[in-house]
Amino acid sequence: MNAEKKITIIGAGMIGAGLAVNSALHGYRTILYDVCDLEIVKKRMEDIMDIMVKCGAAAKEQAAQAMELVSYTGDMKEAVEGALLVEECLPERLELKQSVYGRIQEITGAGTLIASSTSGLLPSKLQEGALYPEAIMAAHPYNPSYLLPLIELCGGKKTSRKNIEKAKEIFCEIGKVPIICQKEVEGFLVNKLSWACMSAAQEAVKNGLCSVEDIDKAIMFGPGMRMAVTGQLLTISLGCEGGFLALAEKYGKEPSAEDKLYAAGVEQEILNRLPEQGNTVESVCGFRDYMFAELLKLHGLL
């Protein structure tokens, strides 16, 4: 139980309430601050918790216990005092976010981390003019935030590395899977990948290559299934015995510096996987096949 530890959500809309549910389900005292009618926020939390129970992501008792850790306020001091982490989930307006950070940091000092769920504002901009810029970073979730574990952490020029590591630990504790975006780029990492896929899909439909339904089926029953288990680079590496280095040789090329970079990265990635998800090439393939079969059963195809 982490009930002595407190996470604050500032802006309890779609994203904020989802993250609050994760935090409470993992035993954190969770306080939601919003300027709207707090009954609406409460209802939103109850609805999301119900979804978690219905889809099997939480047991009924666990959800009820989690809700006891949740409180709601329109008072900023009460919201942020003593918080380990403030997840800022306000509308995407730079000046609003910056002015709220000023109010938060006057109360908390430098010790509370501020993680913004911004989809597109660069962290160096967010921390401009802040009292303690080293504590401010982006922590971009993926919708629906109550179920999808991804959090992209990205620091600005003044964010301390130590604070990013601290935030990473806290997000792991609330069941998220944080990744670190090492450079500030528009759309961080994930939107960039998703835009590339979206643009190729739109192009295919626009040029009459296939129907909308077929492009979605192509992703769902092909690359999307593989990506869900082994991402992109590991997937390609598994496609050829010997991985990236062998792949280059297969096409009569000397492995390039990039091939070597990807090969070393994939090797480390495999070692870092949990044993039950496969941490050798053979066991990763076994786990992948099991996951495919489970997913196909849910699709009614097996």
Ligand X SMILES: NC(=O)c1ccc[n+]([C@@H]2O[C@H](COP(=O)([O-])OP(=O)(O)OC[C@H]3O[C@@H](n4cnc5c(N)ncnc54)[C@H](O)[C@@H]3O)[C@@H](O)[C@H]2O)c1
Q: Which amino acid is at 28?
A: Y
Taking the complex as a whole, how short is the minimal distance between the CB of residue 92 and ligand X, in angstroms? 4
Q: Which is nearer to ligand X, 5 or 140 (CB)?
A: 140
Q: Which is nearer to ligand X, 197 or 236 (CB)?
A: 197
Site string for ligand X, 129-168 (x = CB under 6 A): -----------xx-x-------------------------
Does residue 21 interact with ligand X by CB under 6 A?
Answer: no
Contact criterion met (CB below 8 Å) for 76 and 9: no
Does residue 14 interact with ligand X by CB under 6 A?
Answer: yes
Does residue 36 interact with ligand X by CB under 6 A?
Answer: yes
- Of 5, 9, 24, 34, the one binding ligand X (CB under 6 A) is 34
What's phi and psi for 281, nearest 5 deg? -55, -45
Q: Which is nearer to ligand X, 74 or 242 (CB)?
A: 74
Whole-number Å distance between alpha carbons of 146 and 148: 6
Q: Which is nearer to ligand X, 3 or 36 (CB)?
A: 36
Taking the complex as a whole, how short is the minimal distance between the CB of residue 301 and ligand X, in angstroms? 29
Taking the complex as a whole, how short is the minimal distance between the CB of residue 121 and ligand X, in angstroms? 7
Segment contacting ligand X by CB under 6 A, of 113-121, 160-168, 174-182, 260-268:
113-121
Taking the complex as a whole, how short is the minimal distance between the CB of residue 200 and ligand X, in angstroms? 21
Segment contacting ligand X by CB under 6 A, of 10-18, 22-30, 105-113, 291-299:
10-18
End-to-end CA distance of the chain: 40
- Of 117, 127, 230, 237, the one binding ligand X (CB under 6 A) is 117
Taking the complex as a whole, how short is the minimal distance between the CB of residue 34 and ligand X, in angstroms? 4
- Of 16, 123, 178, 243, the one binding ligand X (CB under 6 A) is 16
Whole-number Å distance between alpha carbons of 276 and 291: 12
- DSSP for the chain reads -EEEEEEEEES-SHHHHHHHHHHHHTTEEEEEE-SS-HHHHHHHHHHHHHHHHHTTSS-HHHHHHHHHTEEEES-HHHHHTT-SEEEE---S-HHHHHHHHHHHHHHHTTSSEEEE--SS--HHHHTTT-SSGGGEEEEEE-SSTTT--EEEEEE-TT--HHHHHHHHHHHHHTT-EEEE--S--TTTTHHHHHHHHHHHHHHHHHTTSS-HHHHHHHHHTTHHHHHHHHTTHHHHHHTSTTHHHHHHHHTT----HHHHHHHHHHHHHHHHS-GGG-SSHHHHHHHHHHHHHHHHHHTT--
Taking the complex as a whole, how short is the minimal distance between the CB of residue 284 and ligand X, in angstroms? 30
- Of 118, 127, 159, 230, the one binding ligand X (CB under 6 A) is 118
Taking the complex as a whole, how short is the minimal distance between the CB of residue 46 and ligand X, in angstroms? 15
- Output the residue with the shortest Cβ distance to ligand X: 13
Interface residue list for ligand X (CB under 6 A): 10-16, 34-36, 89-92, 96, 117-119, 140-141, 143
